[in-house]
Structure 1
Amino acid sequence: MTLAGDFRRGCELVRELTIVAEAPRGGKTSEPAQTDGLRIRLSDRKHFGAALLFATGSTTHIEQLREIASKKGMRLEADGLHKCRTLIAGDEADIYHALGLPFIDPELREGRNEVELALKGKLPKLVTDQDLRGNLHCHTDASDGTETLETMAKATRQRGFEYFGVADHSKSAHYAGGLSLEEIAQQHREADRLNKRFGKDFRILKGIESDILADGSLDYPDEALKQFDFVVASIHGRFKLDRKAQTQRLLRAISHPCTTIIGHMTGRQLQRRPGYEIDVEKVLRACAKHDVVVEINAHPWRLDLDWRWHQAALEFGCMLSINPDAHSIPELDHMHWGVQMARKGGVPADRILNAMTLPEITRYLRQKRRSLARAA
């Protein structure tokens, strides 16, 4: 039994769960049986891969494959790839191969440009969960998280990561227990103490999620912001500014030399609220210009930046970061959903900030701070 449909393609919303199951030996295959929110298809082993291909979709992707098959004198159906009456291939990978294509990862099968890239041999090698070496943008009980810095860091290390990027809320986020300057100093002392205990193979990176204020300035004075290893700049209020004003607000924050990452760029919450109105292309170009990383916020309510913008971000020259926005230990595992979105957006590991090893990201952040010092 294999999940197919929207879920297998890594869609941000799954409106119907599709399952392909192998029929018992001697049992009959079937057209999809459907009930509210669930579709099940039975297939024999010989044709299982083809059934899975069709059940995965998308419809546009399948039509593109059928067009290639037709040009080659073949016929692609839900029971396999045929030439005249002969079954050429019934396995998913074999069908792609017989059509002259490499295997196309399910997340890419949206009928955009994946078939064209496959024909040219230019499909990206997609990032995997195993490529990530650390997490950034995590909260503790110092602001609105549920666990201590030590507990969150240890849970991160237990998951095999090399670094934990704490980024509690800044002081203007009073609703979320934003940190005062004294609380920041206290957290940094605690991080230093824990880092001595962890040794060289694991490190707490000292960050902050600094609110982007209504005029685009960052929460805290510059001297305070310079103390952090990284700064995630995010909007948490004034969502109803018009498109021009909201875009200018983000552009000013991006141009701030202390900004490392732009968090949940559009502010959407899936099935709760739409994002605020911004010129996404202009914002992405500014991130590339100022060497600011674009967050793929992996929280299931956000999944922001939307995967449909990932290719544009890469083309403009942006780095991305898959961040869990974790407020508890279980939420550290949100990283998987961010990886799924990055894969759907066609993002390779070498364009993901937290696919860097601890020495690499330490060097990257140190160079960023040196640039900040030179700018001052």
Structure 2
Amino acid sequence: MVHMLEPLQALVDPVEALRRIAFLLERSRAGTYRVEAFRNAVKALKQLGDDEIASRAEQGTLQQIHGIGKTTAAVVEEAARGELPAYLASLQTQSGGPLAAGGEDLYAALRGDCHLHSDWSDGGSPIDEMVLTGIELGHEWMVLTDHSPQLRVANGLTAERLTKQIAIVDAINRGVGQGFRLFKGIEVDILDDGSLDQTDAMLGRLDLVTASVHSKLKMNRAPMTKRMVAAVSNPRVNVLGHCTGRLVTGSRGTRPQSEFDAREVFEACLEGDTAVEINSRPERQDPPDELIELALDIGCLFAIDSDAHAPGQLDMKAYGCERAERLGIPVDRIVTTWDADRLHAWANPS
């Protein structure tokens, strides 16, 4: 997998310039409103032909188009003149380097991502933009894991919406060709009793299931342990997502980790052949190091995932790779280093 995208130079297409700026802003965790300005400008330009873009850039009338403001117009005008836009050049210098010091070799060994979101739930970009960025980063496969119905605040997918999404994933796979596979998946909520927030029939139509606790994170230790053990023991579940639910930094504030018997949960993961996710989001860093070490000692598999909610966040796996490499996790125990066929066979053994 490519550690980062190569810097763009002069003679860059205006749309590509805007996309790269949005990617770098997302990658550096910039404010959503800044990112949306560039993503909206991309959408606006895609409605125009190349000749109209060039004409408007020359005449200075780009801002007459809904979705294009002063800053984005300047980027388009500079790109149309064959120049590297100053805004992009500055971002590439400031934010284009490695996200983490360490883990580069492991990052290069990654082939995919078991946990990412699109604008079908609480992600910020369409599925095709997530896929395009993944391909540009060198992914061989990705699992689309939008939320399940109970997480209404994140626009979780009903069975009907998930059925429609499955058809779209199939269409994308027909279009991208042999070098990449988008797997059908879900981040399914682990309910209070350990059951899953989607019908078994629907889960059976998916390639991979990541299961996470999003509610009642302060549940007492014994029932939380029972809840998580039941979920990871379910043959439909392949990955246990952000197992402690903690938040250590970021705009949402901090949140302590849930209380559960980690040894019992990880032993159930081992028994059920369920991978423990190393969630790479900086605000999560979940599990903490000591729990990763425990899961490693027990013999668990791991998935280094981005939990990306925007294209630029796909690159955040660099943070998870730094932790995994530092803690000595063998590459072959990390399912996100496996090729698409091996990943699919593991997740669908019968």
Counterpart position of 1:339: 321
Any gaps of 5 or more consecutive residues in structure 1?
1-105, 108-124, 371-376
* Residues in 1 aligned to 2:218 and 2:194: alpha-carbon distance in whole angstroms: 14
Instruction: State how 1:20-35 maps to structure 2 within 5 Å.
Output: none
Bigger Rg, structure 1 or 2: 1
Structure having the larger proportion of residues in helix: 2
Distance 1:126-1:279 versus aligned 2 partners, 3 A rule: farther
Counterparts in 2 of 1:65-76, with a 5 A limit? none
**Contact 1:240–1:276 (8 Å) recurs in 2:** yes
Alignment match, 1:139: 117
Q: Which of structure 1's runs of 4+ aligned residues deviate more than 6 A? A: none
Instruction: Indicate whether 1:237 and 2:219 are aligned.
Output: no
- Looking at structure 2, the residues matched to 217 and 362 of structure 1 have their Cα atoms a distance apart, in angstroms, of 23
Q: How does 1:25-64 map to 2 (within 5 A)?
A: none
Matches within 5 A, 1:310-349: 310-349=292-331
Q: Distance in 2 between matches of 1:177 and 1:230?
A: 20
**1:247 pairs with 2:225:** yes
- Aligned equivalents of 1:256 and 1:361: distance in 2? 18
Counterpart among 133, 145, 151 of residue 129 in structure 2: 151
Determine whether 1:172 maps to 2:150.
Answer: yes
Identity of aligned residues (%): 36
Match in the other structure for 2:337: 355
- TM-score, L = length of structure 2: 0.68
Cα offset for 1:126?
9.5
Cα distance between partner residues in 2 of 1:274 and 1:151: 34
1:260 aligns with 2:242: no
Structure 1 residue matching 2:169: 3-state secondary structure:
helix
Between the aligned partners of 1:242 and 1:332, the Cα distance in structure 2 is: 34
- 1:27-74 CA-to-partner distances (Å, cap 9, x unmatched) read xxxxxxxxxxxxxxxxxxxxxxxxxxxxxxxxxxxxxxxxxxxxxxxx
The corresponding residue for 1:19 is none
Unaligned runs of 5+ in 2: 1-100
Residue pair 2:149, 2:157 contacting (<8 A) in 1 also = yes
Is the 1:129–1:336 Cα contact (8 Å) retained in structure 2?
yes
> Residue 195 of structure 2 is aligned with which of 217, 220, 229?
217
* Aligned 8 A contact 2:104 2:322 in 1: no
Does 2:275 match 1:275? no
Shift of 1:344: 2.4
**Relative contact order (alpha carbons < 8 A, sep ≥ 6): 1 or 2 greater?**
2
Distance 2:216 2:239 in 1: 20
Which residue of 2 is the match for residue 206 of structure 1?
Answer: 184
TM-align CA RMSD = 1.6
Output one character per residue of 1:142-195: Cα deviation in whole Å (capped at 9) or x when no partner.
000011111101110110110111100000000100001111111111110110
Secondary structure in 2 matching 1:205: strand
User: Aligned residue pairs: how many?
Assistant: 246
Q: Which residue of 2 aligns with 1:186?
A: 164
> What amino acid is the match of 1:277?
E
CA gap of 1:209–1:147, structure 2 versus 1, over 3 A, is same
The Cα shift of 1:309 comes to 2.3
Name which of 195, 206, 217 aligns with 1:228: 206
Rounded Cα–Cα distance in structure 2 between residues aligned with 1:301 and 1:344: 19
Q: 1:180 to 1:358 in 2, by over 3 A?
A: same
What TM-score, normalized by structure 1, do the two folds share?
A: 0.63
Deviates more, 1:257-266 or 1:125-134: 125-134
